[in-house]
Structure 1
Amino acid sequence: MPTTITDDRDAELRALMMMASHDMKSPLATVSAHVQMLREDYADELGDEFRRDLAAIERALRRMSQLTQDLLDYARADHTLDRSPVELREIIGEVITDHVAEPDEALVTLTGTWPVVTGDAGLLRHVLDNLIGNAVKYTPAGVAPQIEIEAWALPDGGIRVEVADHGIGVPAEDRQKIFDAFHRCANTGGRLGTGLGLAICRRIIERHGGTIGVEENIGGGSRFWFDLPSGAGADHTPPTPFAHQKLFR
């Protein structure tokens, strides 16, 4: 299929996004470092109002840093896939450790059969990191996250992975829009976010030839899933079964 003007413009926009977001990282790091120095050197001397101002600056910096990283990831999602055998089970263990500092902080259950898949390990890790991170992030305050992660083979030879939680859930009217860039649900409760994370996930899964979606979880919360087709599915490495293995707590 020939390249269209729209394709060229989209590629140019992604290249601009990557360049701009990459170039913003250094000045943001510099500002953050100086704010930290101000906090350490003067916060006690200048009182509560000064500390409140610093806190406001730090919140804005965190949001800018997150947006910069999300824009960079969004642009990178269209790069050529670096395909190799990928141990999804191993990646999930690492991602959970990143998001749950202490074993008693969450109940995470892993079930199903996890084959080695062929895909871009870095991009697939990004998808799992986002879905598991959201399951933790959107659990109500004061409640330990409960996350069930499951995989199974599809009739056509592909694989489905599900990440279910018992958090605040996705309103029915938002389920068709939640994977659109910059869309945020009304029930996020002011939690930090840019509305790009799930759009990046959709792009990555689609580039692997798969699909992604979300459903209501029975008992409350959300059930995010993605399918990888047989071409990006099971490799020749024998699958490893995990029956209700509790990774934490």
Structure 2
Amino acid sequence: MRQTTKARHTLGIRGQLMWFLCFICLFLLGLFWLLSTQLLEPLYTKHIETQLTNQADSIVERLDDAIAEGKVLSSWSFGQLAVNSDFFDKLTLELYTKGTLNSFCVDISDTTLHTIYKIENQSFCNLHGTYLSDSANNDKIIATALAMRRKCRSMGSFVQTLNPPRLSGSAQLLVGRTTADGSYTVLVTTSLVHVAEAGKVLSTLLPLAAALIFGFAMSAAWLFSEWFTKPLRQLSSAARQMALGNYAVQVDNRRNDELGDLARDFNHMAEEVQHAVQMQRDLLANVSHDLRTPLTLIKGYAETVRDLTGDDKAHRDEQMNIIVDEADRLTALVSSVMELSKVTSGTYKCERVHFDMGQLCDEVSERYDAVCAQNGWQLQLELPEEDLPVYADPDMMQRALHNLLGNAMHHIGKDGIFILRAFRCTEGVRVEVEDHGPGIAAADLPYIFDRYYRSRSDAGKQGTGLGLSITKAIFQQHSFRFGVQSTVGKGTTFWFVMSDLPYVDDFEGK
């Protein structure tokens, strides 16, 4: 099954990335080829058409203005043509200096369809054919010019492509316009040879350029995929090492991107898993040790009662009391372990309700009157006169208070006073349990809520060592903030903050 899964994913992220970049490169090359070979000519022709149209419209506008001013632009007398030289000279100057086209021809004709004025600013014109020497092509040119003039006079305006009269020529674009009174027709042409030549050049160079670009892109993609997937391969290798039990593994997290964040999160996870595994081992070792001691005592005293002190009632009762006490220790330890397991696994579900935390603190404090009177201790209850509404599981909160108060009694100071207080704060209600005992060293504070953790000052004291771990699990289920403050030689204060809202955001609770 493992080999099948591995074979199924042989391509990997690097291969998928290479295929993706290859597809993008081919797509861009195909798009460039489409634009340069298929769309270049129509786009260029459209651009030339716009320039020709503007040129023709400007000429017609000048003619219309001159006619409106009463100027005589041309006349025929005894078959001889006379034109207004001043007007057309100025028009020529404007076309050369202010025109948008560098290569063009202009043909202006009157109602007789004869040319009264023309400009030839290109090597060859399909409309005029000045440089043709054979009569056959000249006849074609003359017929073309007459046909375009007639078409312009009948249609008023049009755009047409003029094919060359010979194989060596090039196509030209023609725009025709007519003056407002119909007296003159204006034809403007320009060559399309540039776009044809550009298309041929691009068609020649494109395969070579595409091969070079594709080769460079694939090389860059290979290097990029190597750089991009390296941290992923490191994470995969580290995950396999963790699966084999090496929880001290770490990966490089120097990148300042999402992969760097993933590496840092992995390292943090590895540290937490290593810490959890170590705590689990310590828990098993400590519980095993604590189980072994009372079991040994129970067995030893039971054998003594059986073999030696069966008839001595005083000794028998003393030894039976020891057996009962050790059995109670075993019961408490097993109960704490089971309770911790149920709370941390989520078997115990929070049944949240609205209640008064001040009333719950008052009820819990009454349970300690007898033990305080017996030992000469004093539990001070500090509550405000107002209600302290909260939204939580009252049974779990009661258990947490008992754990914290029991912990305070185990570390009670020489004054014999420990304090339970609750008061309002900005987040809801803050509850504190304070003792005046020896305090907790700063090095022990970060681990005080860990399972079975005991600070050096707790060595040899009674208790299962799981009460604070159970309390921590209860607070985490409620998403309450909690913590501890301590000063060596002055005492310790455990605190937690409760909310009166039905819904709160999950909080890590450290």
- TM more than 0.5: yes
Moved more, 220-229 or 82-91: 82-91
User: Counterpart in 2 of 1:111?
Assistant: 382
In structure 2, give the amino acid aligned to 1:45.
D
Q: Does 2:399 correspond to 1:133?
A: no
SS of residue in 1 equivalent to 2:370: coil
Say which SS state the counterpart of residue 173 (structure 1) adopts: coil
Q: TM-score scaled by structure 2?
A: 0.34
Please give the residue correspondences for 1:123-202 in structure 2 after superposition, counting only pairs within 5 Å: 123-139=396-412, 143=414, 145-155=416-426, 157-202=427-472
Q: CA deviation at 1:82?
A: 0.8
1:65 match? 331
Counterpart CA distance in 2 for 1:88 and 1:145 is 25
Counterparts of 1:47 and 1:230 in 2: how far apart (Å)?
Answer: 57
Alignment of 1:186-225 (within 5 A): 186-216=456-486, 220-225=490-495
Aligned length: 196
- RCO higher in structure (CA 8 A, sep ≥6): 1
Q: Which structure shows the higher strand fraction?
A: 1
Corresponding residue SS for 1:171: coil
AA in 1 matched with 2:312: E
Query: Quick one: which amino acid aligns to residue 133 of structure 1?
Result: G
Judged with a 3 Å threshold, the aligned counterparts in structure 2 of structure 1 residues 60 and 103 are, in CA distance, closer, same or farther, namely closer
Q: Note closer, same or farther for the CA distance 1:44–1:115 as it changes in structure 2 (3 Å cut).
A: farther
Superposed displacement of residue 161, structure 1: 0.8
Greater helix share, 1 or 2?
Answer: 2
The sequence identity of aligned pairs, in percent, is: 26
Deviation at 1:138, TM superposition (A): 2.0
Alpha-carbon shift at residue 198 of structure 1 (Å): 0.5
Q: Is contact 1:87-1:116 (8 Å) kept?
A: yes
Q: Give a deviation string over 1:195-216, Cα, whole Å, max 9, x none.
A: 2110111111111111221111
The one-letter code matched in structure 2 to 1:121 is P
Structure 1: runs of 5 or more not aligned: 1-5, 7-27, 234-249
In 1, the alpha carbon distance for the partners of 2:463 and 2:371 equals 24
Q: CA deviation at 1:91?
A: 2.3
Report the CA distance between 1:175 and its aligned residue: 1.1
Alpha-carbon RMSD: 3.4
Larger Rg, first or second structure (1 or 2) = 2
1:95, 1:132 within 8 Å by CA — same for their partners in 2? no
Q: How does 1:78-93 map to 2 (within 5 A)?
A: 78=346, 79-93=348-362
- 1:132 CA drift (Å): 1.1
- Structure 2: give runs of 5+ residues left out of the alignment: 1-272, 274-294, 504-510
The CA deviation at 1:63 is 2.1
Task: Tell me the secondary structure at the aligned position of residue 89 of structure 1.
Answer: helix
Counterparts of 1:53 and 1:103, CA distance in 2: 28
| Gap change, CA 1:207 and 1:67, over 3 Å in 2 | same
Q: Secondary structure at the match of 2:446?
A: coil
In structure 2, C-alpha distance between the alignment counterparts of 1:224 and 1:145, rounded to whole Å: 17
Counterparts of 1:44 and 1:86, CA distance in 2: 57
In structure 2, do the counterparts of structure 1 residues 119 and 216 end up closer, same or farther at CA, with 3 Å as the change threshold?
same
